[in-house]
Structure 1
Amino acid sequence: MNEFQKHLLGAEYLGYSISSRDLMEITPEANKKITVKRHFLQTSPSSPIGLRSDLVKFSPFPQNLFGYVRTTSWDFDNDRSDLHDLISCIVGITLRHYNISTSLLTVTHEDLGLTKMPAEIYARLLSFERHRLSHFEESDIPSDAIQQVFLGTYFAAFLMDNVFSYTSSHYPIWEQFEDRANKIARFLDKRVISGKQNFMCRKNPDWFWFRSFKSGISIFSFDESTLNNFKAAFEQELSTMQFQGVTRDIIKFNEMGHAICPKKLDRGYATLEFLKDSNYQKPKIIPIENKFFLIGKNHILAIDDECGEESYRKELQQIKLRNDEERRFLFPSPNFVWSVPTNPDRFEKLCKELLQQESHVTRIKRVSSINEGDGGKDLIAEWLFLNPSPNSADSSPYILKNILVQCKAYKNSVGKDRVQDIRDTIDMNNADGYHLIVSSQLTTQLFDYLSILRKRGIQIDWWTRDDLEDRLRKHPDVVDRFLDIVKPT
């Protein structure tokens, strides 16, 4: 029995119902079909909340873990978008209290070609890429994260049943609340817009839901006792730090950082004030990867915002650049001296080790020796990306891409003449993108060229010396293995 199977036994003991089957064939690489075994973990047989894990059935047996929320027409009549929005948000909030930050990915009816109503939510997928659950192998299973996901998801299902009375009858009564919905639409979007807004009100239990796809804001309205019971479910408050960054507000929950758009945060406060939520001055802020939540006295607001790990990292870079004194205070770290000339073979090995530290890189292969022509590639990295628009409720929220990596150790800035035609290189190697790593900087001409390709939809990225040194500061053990080419001062 492997480690993940032990986790499945623990989940079954907790109360999950578990099944599995060979579901589909996927082709992450050209001309290579892979059979996937999918595990289905339902919090209960009738619950819309579940987890999925796809296992590739050949060595080294990589797999992933993601969440799934969808109700059925057997349980509820009419549009069920409010249920899918609310339930997935409650799961996201609950998991955040278990120190798991998820992305909520919407599958619309339009994505499935079922209707031309983009304002209807068919299902929600929950991804856990920040916790290395988008790709892991038996030799390196993130057990703590898996355990927290299992516990948090199961507790969220408990809260839906016992606090929000999910299993009650839920009588839709939206006609009586159309005027209220129109007032909210005019506040958020200036006017009522067909296909960009949706609302629902249910009786037994009582809640009201409004969603503006234009503004990216969902409003959930409850009686005060329901939200008090929900807040009381989390006895231990998360350790929270918040301060103003350069372009975003930094929020840290138990050492996990997020970067929230201040304009969107202010818009949330203003919305609570419009709703006459008397607790709006001090709402609880809970960020996940692609949303943040404001919990007031009678309302929960879910506001779309890319406020997760990547935004947090970029905002830290902005803070570093803002003031050298702040940098010394917030990011105490060494500077580096590079050998001149830098040995290209050792530099390539350094790049490979740093890439292996990236959470989204699953595998790296060296494809050329230092003494032979590389055809524009030194390494090939299997890189995981998040699928922001899954085209199927059964699809995985992760995409695996082959990225060509070229490493250039030069004293002076690297110009466009040092880089082969990138589009041809990608096509010839049947790759999905290109990543350039240089030991110095890029010339303006090369920077502009790479930026243009990126704007045209080609998967392009690059690291310069600044990016390398930021990663070396995080991984001093790597520095110790390459003191012959780079030394801390």
Structure 2
Amino acid sequence: MLDKIEELVEDETGFEVQKRSRRLRVGLPCSPLSLIFDETPSDDVFMALHCSALRIFNGDRTDLHDVCSWLAASFLRWLGVTSSALIDIEHPATMIPAELYGRYLIPSQPEGYVLAPSDAGLHLAGDMIGYLAMFEHAAHTHTTFWHPKFESALEPTHDYDAARSEADDWAQGLASLLGERASRDDIYTQRPSAGWFYYRTTDGAIAVVESKQLVDFLELLGTAPDEEIAGINGFLYTGKSFDNFIPRDALKIADRIFGQDGTLAASSCPAAEATVVPLENGVILAKGHRAVLLRHDTGVAGFARERSLVLERNRLEQERLFPPSEFIWTDEVDGGRFERLIYDLLECEPGVHEVRAIGSSREGDGGRDLVVSWVTPPVPGEAIPQGLPPARERRIIVQCKARKRSVGRSDLGGGILDTLFMYHAEGYFLATSSQPAVAVIDLLEEVRRRGDYFTGWWGRTEIEQRLRRHPQILKRYADIVRPAP
């Protein structure tokens, strides 16, 4: 499939292809952004964007890696192409925790990051190459730093200065706003060629840029206010086929950085007060001359947890967020049949290499597990060592739970970690005919945060989405689920 993708690049003027082993890299030689295609063991293709600033910029280029990846992710979401996860690449030489050697942008919603070796997968690859060309044009038009042209008289050392008194004063003022979130190990700089000041906390949870040019560009890419739905602990975003969530805690931090007294956190519509761009593992907010990236669980997991709280609170909001189902499920879903349904859907899932049943079915809800060889992206917060691909194949345990009610923590038996240790697995996945309770979503996120484990789930909504894509599978399971008349 890589050969066919390479042929598609010929249609984009100026794009070059670098081919190595089972990888293609596509992009403009004068750009910090490139598109990579990695062939997986199952002959699928893992697709991601890679951001690495040009070496024409001297000194630490953390600020460029941060800003350039912000813009690319914001543009792709604005187009309705994908909601991306920002995955940091560790610096191989320095011992400074906050420095970025580069960054991957992993397409997460709606299609994902794995392309099937088919016409449909090839079509998606061609689309992404075209979107990259569109973004290159937009970045060139709206910024001066994307395709830089240094004058011969300008010494490279003038481009980067981490020790200017102006930068010191600015950083001290920002650190005072951040309070306990600031640290002596945070990094900051002034980059005259880009016209900005930059600050990043040691843990990478907060990054701030002072730049009117950047804010103006982000304003064009912000989320429309009509995408917002007020939840319990923050705001849900359901536009452009993406499900995202922004907690009010993030808005409180942004208020401090913008130097305002709770305007965003108290607002009923933050997108009307500032530029808002929710991603998979963070949110970009911009106002005045400042733009900020705040790391939070803003993707599907955060959305699902908040959605569950909204369901418990208000039937009217439930009807708006969850339209009537196009399927009818039997009152009592047979556990064995449900497990087989999940088996068949997993075999069609991009990135899945192998599915096997393990254990014995002794429970009435189909307690037998499945083990899946699945190509997955890095877990949020996982840094990728330089030279290693961003995706890898993991051994993932899948537990199937046929339930009328939500699946609670007590339904998971001995516990997720016990299951992972028993099967020497690198990930855990729950499939349920109802939906996971909030406590289960929290538990899955806690397991992911505490170790290098992939966690995820399918509830009834996610299963029905896949049944629409695979009507041939739906026909086999008419005894437990069928189309509504």
Same fold (TM over 0.5): yes
Change (3 A) 1:263 1:344: closer
Q: What code does the residue aligned with 2:426 have?
A: D
Change (3 A) 1:382 1:270: same
In the TM superposition, residue 242 of structure 1 has moved relative to its aligned partner by: 0.8
Q: Select 1:127's aligned residue among 98, 106, 114.
A: 106
1:306 match: secondary structure: coil
Q: What code does the residue aligned with 1:404 have?
A: I
Q: What code does the residue aligned with 2:382 have?
A: S
Residue correspondence of structure 1 range 7-406 to structure 2 within 5 A: 7-14=5-12, 15-22=14-21, 37-44=22-29, 46-56=30-40, 60-71=42-53, 74-99=55-80, 100-109=82-91, 112=92, 114-139=93-118, 141-143=120-122, 145-166=124-145, 167-169=148-150, 171-174=159-162, 175-177=164-166, 178-190=168-180, 193-195=183-185, 197-213=186-202, 216-223=205-212, 227-228=215-216, 240-273=226-259, 282-333=273-324, 338=330, 343-355=334-346, 363-366=354-357, 377-387=368-378, 388-406=381-399
In the TM superposition, residue 261 of structure 1 has moved relative to its aligned partner by: 1.0
In the TM superposition, residue 101 of structure 1 has moved relative to its aligned partner by: 1.4
In the TM superposition, residue 249 of structure 1 has moved relative to its aligned partner by: 0.3
Q: Distance in 2 between matches of 1:448 and 1:41?
A: 38
In the TM superposition, residue 160 of structure 1 has moved relative to its aligned partner by: 4.4
In the TM superposition, residue 329 of structure 1 has moved relative to its aligned partner by: 4.5
1:95 match: secondary structure: helix
2:238 match: secondary structure: strand
Q: Distance in 2 between matches of 1:101 and 1:291?
A: 11
In the TM superposition, residue 50 of structure 1 has moved relative to its aligned partner by: 1.2
Q: Distance in 1 between matches of 2:218 and 2:279?
A: 18
Deviation readout 1:76-128 (Å, 9 max, x if unpaired)? 2222211111111121122222222111111232xx3x222112222111111
1:65 match: secondary structure: strand
Residue 482 of structure 1 corresponds to 477
Q: What code does the residue aligned with 1:9 have?
A: E
In the TM superposition, residue 405 of structure 1 has moved relative to its aligned partner by: 3.4
> Which TM-score applies when normalising by structure 2?
0.76
Deviation readout 1:291-318 (Å, 9 max, x if unpaired)? 2222334232222222122222332222
Deviation readout 1:340-382 (Å, 9 max, x if unpaired)? 6x655423312324545766756423458979xxxx8553223
Q: What code does the residue aligned with 1:55 have?
A: E
Change (3 A) 1:84 1:432: closer
Indicate the RMSD between aligned Cα atoms, in angstroms: 4.5
Q: Distance in 1 between matches of 2:408 and 2:296?
A: 35
Q: Distance in 2 between matches of 1:403 and 1:354?
A: 15
2:255 match: secondary structure: helix
Change (3 A) 1:454 1:310: closer
Change (3 A) 1:432 1:85: closer
1:39 match: secondary structure: strand
Q: Distance in 1 between matches of 2:257 and 2:302?
A: 24
Q: Distance in 2 between matches of 1:409 and 1:237?
A: 37
Q: Distance in 2 between matches of 1:396 and 1:405?
A: 25
Q: What code does the residue aligned with 2:228 have?
A: Q
Residue 153 of structure 2 corresponds to none
CA contact (8 A) 1:384 1:400 kept: yes
Q: Distance in 1 between matches of 2:101 and 2:177?
A: 26
CA contact (8 A) 2:48 2:104 kept: yes
Greater shift in the superposed pair: 451-460 or 87-96? 451-460
Greater shift in the superposed pair: 412-421 or 237-246? 412-421
Change (3 A) 1:184 1:148: farther
> Size of the alignment, in residue pairs?
450
CA contact (8 A) 1:354 1:471 kept: no
2:83 match: secondary structure: coil
Change (3 A) 1:108 1:186: farther
Q: What code does the residue aligned with 2:47 have?
A: L
| Structure with greater Cα Rg | 1
2:39 match: secondary structure: strand
Aligned-pair identity in percent equals: 22
Deviation readout 1:262-292 (Å, 9 max, x if unpaired)? 22123323422359x9x99732211221122
Change (3 A) 1:273 1:416: closer
CA contact (8 A) 2:403 2:434 kept: yes
Q: What code does the residue aligned with 2:90 have?
A: T
Change (3 A) 1:19 1:345: same
Q: Distance in 2 between matches of 1:453 and 1:203?
A: 43
In the TM superposition, residue 221 of structure 1 has moved relative to its aligned partner by: 2.0
2:172 match: secondary structure: helix
CA contact (8 A) 1:189 1:215 kept: no
